[in-house]
Structure 1
């Protein structure tokens, strides 16, 4: 006997919720929901879910995840987050060499221009060319299915191999190490704000006195690298 079909809106909610959870795909979340409320879940069951239930279901499958991510996923499951697609920002044409003394930055994103993606589950990377005087969104790279047998994290690293910095809502230790080995500097931005605003702030930092780690990325000689008082721009490395 076939299982009942999953309601389209609920399927979209589950997809959004999975993207709020670090290193979590839809099958993993479905295992948790199966134990918590059974499959397929209906809107009433999802409305009654709690953070405690999600963390304890399936022998604590999600127990190690931070409560903020769990709450964000729960909001998606309950329908508090709209399931329609937010419009993507407009890409601006760019040719190599047009912006001297600039760097390339990848922003992990799930919705619109938000910097709200976890490295292992984000839907796309927004690619910015960033200088002190100008910042451009030069590409949007959708993350497709990982080829069979290929490492998921290395597949994602390859999508941003031409970038020097990665802005991301969260990233685990193992994928972070792979990002760093590729010569990309990961920076956590857990507040899930506008990528464009974060990029503008980075441009302002470049225009003032870049912290040593950023000055190194930009190729400044050691004598030009200044001491830096930490602010909102903090490296994970």
Structure 2
């Protein structure tokens, strides 16, 4: 993630945006950056007040009695989210990290998520991507990448695809055709899992497949599919004779 926003600050702003659905996460980020400057950190967010938030939402029309289309209670809840009340550590799963070098035969997988370690998000609207290193013997959560900054880009889908460009697979509850094309161009193979679920449980099925990958997965991994090995051996034997 870009150093212009810390991981925790991105979470707080995402949760505040839930309280202000008419505003949108990208617009809220832009407004807060205009008020506080960069980088956005937890410490800077604690300086926000209800009046500050009301004024930046009102823009040039701000005055003591301005109406911004958001209730006072919603503004208060949003500010509490920005302060981190009841937020810190509650919705960001702890990272496992890499155990030294990536395990042989492992691949990196991005999962679209909105809560905890759930695969419960659509590519174009999820709040973050959970990044896992998956090997036949292990599943490790190595990064959590909020999508707020990507959504402030001119091409949101292209920016989101770049955010997971170091992964071989992307798991999403849903992804549209144009967005999927951008994900593929970024070198990521998109996989729809409409039912979603616990990310580690979904990846557990992938983990089993890594031991004898089908052709499509072998291509992603850059190895020869076990199911094709007998035919490859037969071909090589024929060429030698």
TM-score after normalising by structure 1: 0.58
Q: Distance in 1 between matches of 2:17 and 2:208?
A: 41
3-state SS of 2:122 partner: coil
**CA separation of 1:120 and 1:215: change in aligned 2, threshold 3 A:** same
Higher relative helix content:
2
In the alignment, which residue of structure 2 is the partner of 1:215? 218
- Once residues 211 and 167 of structure 1 are traced to their aligned partners in structure 2, the CA distance between those partners, rounded to angstroms, is 17
| TM-score, length basis structure 2 | 0.57
Choose from 84, 94, 98 the match for 1:90: 94
Go from structure 1 to structure 2 and tell me whether the alpha carbon gap of 1:180 and 1:94 turns closer, same or farther (over 3 Å shift).
same
Q: Which residue of 1 aligns with 2:162?
A: 158
Larger Rg: 2
* 8 Å Cα contact 2:150-2:163 kept in structure 1: no
Question: Contact conserved, 2:151 with 2:160, CA < 8 A, in 1?
Answer: no
**Aligned mates of 2:134, 2:152 — CA distance in 1:** 34
| Residue correspondences, number | 160
**Equivalence for 1:132:** 136
Select which of 8, 12, 16 maps to 2:18: 12
Q: How does 1:143-154 map to 2 (within 5 A)?
A: 143-146=147-150, 150-154=154-158
Unaligned stretches of 5+ residues in structure 1 = 1-8, 20-24, 27-38, 42-83, 228-237
CA shift, 1:97, in A, is 2.5
Give distance in 1, aligned partners of 2:92 and 2:149: 20
Contact 1:215–1:225 (8 Å) recurs in 2? no
Say if 2:122 is the partner of 1:118: yes
Shift in alpha-carbon separation, 1:121–1:147, aligned structure 2, 3 A: closer
| CA distance in 1 between partners of 2:116 and 2:93 (Å) | 7
Q: 1:11 to 1:98 in 2, by over 3 A?
A: closer
Residue aligned with 1:198, SS:
helix
Question: In structure 2, the residue corresponding to 1:145 is in which secondary structure?
Answer: helix
Following superposition, the deviation at residue 90 of structure 1 comes to 1.7
Q: Is the 8 A contact 1:210 1:226 kept in 2?
A: no
Assess, with a 3 A threshold, how the Cα gap between structure 1 residues 10 and 199 changes in structure 2: closer, same or farther.
closer
Counterpart Cα distance in 2 of 1:173 and 1:12: 27
What is the 5 A alignment of 1:62-73?
none
| Cα shift at 1:12 | 3.1
Post-superposition CA distance 1:55-97 (Å, at most 9, x none): xxxxxxxxxxxxxxxxxxxxxxxxxxxxx86533220121663
Q: 1:95 to 1:154 in 2, by over 3 A?
A: farther
SS of the aligned residue for 2:184 comes to helix
Q: What RMSD, in angstroms, separates the aligned Cα atoms of the two structures?
A: 3.4
